[in-house]
Structure 1
Amino acid sequence: MARPIWNGTISFGLLHVPVQLMSAQRSVDLHFRMLDSRDQSPIRYERVNAETGEEVPWKEVVKAFEYEKGSYVVLDEADLKKAAPESTETVDIEAFVDADAIDAMYYEKPYYLVPGKKAEKAYVLLRETLRRTEKVGIAKVVIRTRQYLAMLAPRETALVLILLRFPQEIVSADEYSFPAGTAAAHRVSAKEVAMATQLVEAMSAEWNPDDYKDDFRDKLQKIIQERVTKEGGKLRRLRAAEKLPDDAATNVVDFMALLEKSLGQGKRAQTKVTKKRATRSRARTVGASARRAQK
C-alpha cells in the first residue's frame, strides 16, 4: 500500500477532520538510464563550472536568480527560509464555491484524503454536505516546502484534494491569435456545419476512461520484456511496502455545537466582508465623481 504524503487535518470553522494525504495519480513512464555503448557502464552527470570546465562540489553550489541576462542575485538558506511557508499539515478551507465555477484550466494534480482512525463521522459529514450543496472547498495547503491553492470535492465515497494553479500560472488567451467572428465570417457554410454536427453525433459515446490505452507505452513494454527474455535476464522485484502505522484515535466531539459556533463566526465574518465591500464601493463612487469634476 502507498505511503501517505502526510498525516494532517481538514479544517473548516471549528471542525477538524483527521486525514492522510495520498497521491491519486501514478507515473507510468518508462525510465531509461544512459549507458556507455562501449562497455555498457552507466553514465553519471557532473556539476561543471561553465567557465573553467572543472567539476563543482556540492558544498560550493549556491542558488541564484537571474534578474537580467547574465546578472544573478544569490540567495542563501536564510533567505529561502523567510519565504518558505509554515508546514502546518492542515487543509485550511477558506471558502466554499459552486462546484462548476472553477475552470478546468486551473486543475493541476489530484490527491485522495483518507479519513484517520475514528474520524469517519466528521469525514462523511463534510463529504455529504459538499455533495448536497453542490459546493467545493477552496483551501491553502502546504505539501513538503511549497504552498498550494487547492479544491476539496466529493468523489463517490472519497474526498479528493485537487491542487489548483494560481491565476499567474495561467497563460492568457490574449497572448495568442484566434479566429474571431461567426462561422459565416470565415466562409463556413451551413451545410458544412450540418455535416460536421452529424459526424460528431455519429462518433458520440459515453465517457469510459478504460477504453483508452497508452499504445506507445504498451508496445515499448512488450519490446523490453521480449529483450529481457531473449537475453536471459531476470526482472527485479520491488520489496513489499511496509505496513502503514495506525492513526492515533480521535476524541469524540459534539459536531452540532461546533457547527453552531462556526456558523456564528461565519456570519460575523461575512458581515465584515460586506461592510468592506460597501466601503470600497463608496470610495470608487467618490473617486469617479472627483475625476468627472476634474474633467
Structure 2
Amino acid sequence: MRAIWKGAVSFGLVNVPVRLFSATQEHDIRFHQVHREDGGRIRMKRICSACGEEVAWDQLAKGYEAEDGRLVVLTDEDFDQLPLSTGREIDVVEFVPTGQVDPILYGKAYYLEPDARAAKPYALLREALEATDRVAVVKVALRQRESLAVLRVRDRVIMMQTLMWPDEIRAAEFPVLEEDVDLRPQELRMAASLVDSMAADFEPDQYEDDYQQALVQLVEAKLEGAAPAPVEAAEEAQTEVVDLLSALQASVDRAKEARGEKPSSGGAARKSASSGTKKTAAKKSSSSTSASTTKKTAAKKTAAKKTPARKSA
C-alpha cells in the first residue's frame, strides 16, 4: 500500500506522527468508452463554450456560478492561500461513546500507521480507546477541505473514518410512514419467528458478489473468443403481498429448509385455512343434518296421517 497522507494525531499535548492508507478498494472492472464498430477508444476534448477553442490542462481553473448567474474563477493560487491546504494534523476534538455515532454518518475508512518513533504513544491511544469503549472525534484537512472523522480501533490498528456533516444527511420525509398501521398479534409473532429462524453471526467472508463474478466470466469468455455461459434468471421479487400471514409462514419454512431443518407442519396460515375449512364443513354438516331431520319429521307426520285412514277403511 502507498501512503496518501502524512501528518500527526494530536490529542492534548501528545502528538503521534502517522501515515494514512486507504483501508478499502473497489473490485469493479473498469471499462473504456469505445467505438462499437471498430473498438477505437473515445477521446474527450476540453472545448471552451465561449471561444470554441480546445483548452490545455494547465489552462483549467475552477469556477463557481451563483444563483443569479454571476461567475467567479478560483485559481490554484487562491486555494493555496486557504489555511487547510497545508494542514497536516488530525486534531482530536473530543472522545464520545462508540454507540452515539450514527452509522449513516460514516464515510471512507483509512488505516493509520505510526512512525517507528511513535509506536508507544500510538499504542497508548489505541489502548485508551479500547478500555473506555469510545471513539475520538477529529477534524482533518483532506483534499483541500475540512473533514469530520472518528478514530476507532480495529484489529490493533487505529482507523480513521470520515463522517458526513449533519447538513449533508437528507431527512426521510415519507407521508405513508405517518399513517397508523394495524398489526395483528399473530403477525407480530410470526415476524419475530422469521427473524429468529434467520438469525446468525455476521461473517462477511461467506458473501460473494454474484454480479461481479458473472461479469468477470463474461469478460474472460469474450477474451478467449468463447460463447458466454448462460446465466440463470433470478427470481422476480413479489411486489404485492396478498396474505401477509401466509407469506411470513412460507418465509419461515423456507428459512428452516435452508438451514436443513424440518419445516413446521401446516403452519399458522394453513391452520387458519384449515380451521376455516372445518368451520365451513361443520356448517354444511349441520345444514345437512337439519335438512335430514326436517325430512324425517315430515315423513313421520305423513305416515301418522295415513295410518288412521287405513283403520277407518
* Aligned CA distance change for structure 1 residues 61 and 123 (closer, same or farther; 3 Å): closer
CA distance in 1, matches of 2:123, 2:105: 26
Q: Does 1:14 align with 2:13?
A: yes
Conserved 8 A contact 2:11-2:91: yes
Q: CA deviation at 1:152?
A: 0.5
Q: Does 1:151 align with 2:150?
A: yes
Q: Which moved more, 1:222-231 or 1:69-78?
A: 69-78
CA distance in 2, matches of 1:60, 1:9: 35
CA distance in 2, matches of 1:48, 1:178: 47
User: Which residue among 184, 190, 207 is the counterpart of 1:195?
Assistant: 190
Q: Does 1:44 align with 2:39?
A: no
Conserved 8 A contact 2:91-2:138: yes
Q: Does 1:218 align with 2:193?
A: no
Q: CA deviation at 1:115?
A: 1.9
Q: CA deviation at 1:225?
A: 1.7
CA distance in 2, matches of 1:180, 1:128: 45
CA distance in 2, matches of 1:113, 1:136: 14
CA radius of gyration, larger in: 2
Q: Within 5 Å, which residues of 2 pair with 1:125-204? A: 125-173=124-172, 175-180=173-178, 185-204=180-199
**Match for 1:223: what amino acid?**
L
Task: State the superposition RMSD in angstroms.
Answer: 2.2
CA distance in 2, matches of 1:158, 1:57: 43
For these two proteins, the number of residue pairs brought into alignment is 226
Q: CA deviation at 1:22?
A: 0.9
Q: Within 5 Å, which residues of 2 pair with 1:211-250? A: 211-230=206-225
**Match for 1:145: what amino acid?**
Q
* Aligned CA distance change for structure 1 residues 13 and 213 (closer, same or farther; 3 Å): same
Q: CA deviation at 1:32?
A: 0.3
Q: CA deviation at 1:132?
A: 0.6
CA distance in 2, matches of 1:75, 1:115: 36
Conserved 8 A contact 1:84-1:146: no
Q: Does 1:4 align with 2:14?
A: no
* Aligned CA distance change for structure 1 residues 192 and 98 (closer, same or farther; 3 Å): same
| TM-score, structure 1 normalization | 0.70
**Higher RCO, 1 vs 2 (CA within 8 Å, ≥6 residues apart):** 1
* TM-superposition CA deviations, 1:201-246 (whole Å, max 9, x none): 1111111111211111111011112222338xxxxxxxxxxxxxxx
* Aligned CA distance change for structure 1 residues 194 and 215 (closer, same or farther; 3 Å): same
CA distance in 2, matches of 1:176, 1:192: 24
Q: CA deviation at 1:193?
A: 1.6
Q: CA deviation at 1:75?
A: 2.9
Report the equivalent of 1:111.
Answer: 110
**Match for 2:189: what amino acid?**
A
**Match for 1:179: what amino acid?**
L
**Match for 1:113: what amino acid?**
L
Q: Does 1:209 align with 2:208?
A: no
CA distance in 2, matches of 1:160, 1:132: 16
Conserved 8 A contact 2:85-2:145: no
* TM-superposition CA deviations, 1:153-180 (whole Å, max 9, x none): 111211110111111211123x443513
CA distance in 2, matches of 1:93, 1:31: 38
For structure 2, the residue ranges without an aligned partner over 5 or more in a row are 227-313
* Aligned CA distance change for structure 1 residues 176 and 219 (closer, same or farther; 3 Å): same
| TM-score, structure 2 normalization | 0.66
Report the equivalent of 2:79.
Answer: 80
Conserved 8 A contact 1:84-1:145: no
CA distance in 2, matches of 1:83, 1:178: 46
For structure 1, the residue ranges without an aligned partner over 5 or more in a row are 232-295
Report the equivalent of 2:252.
Answer: none
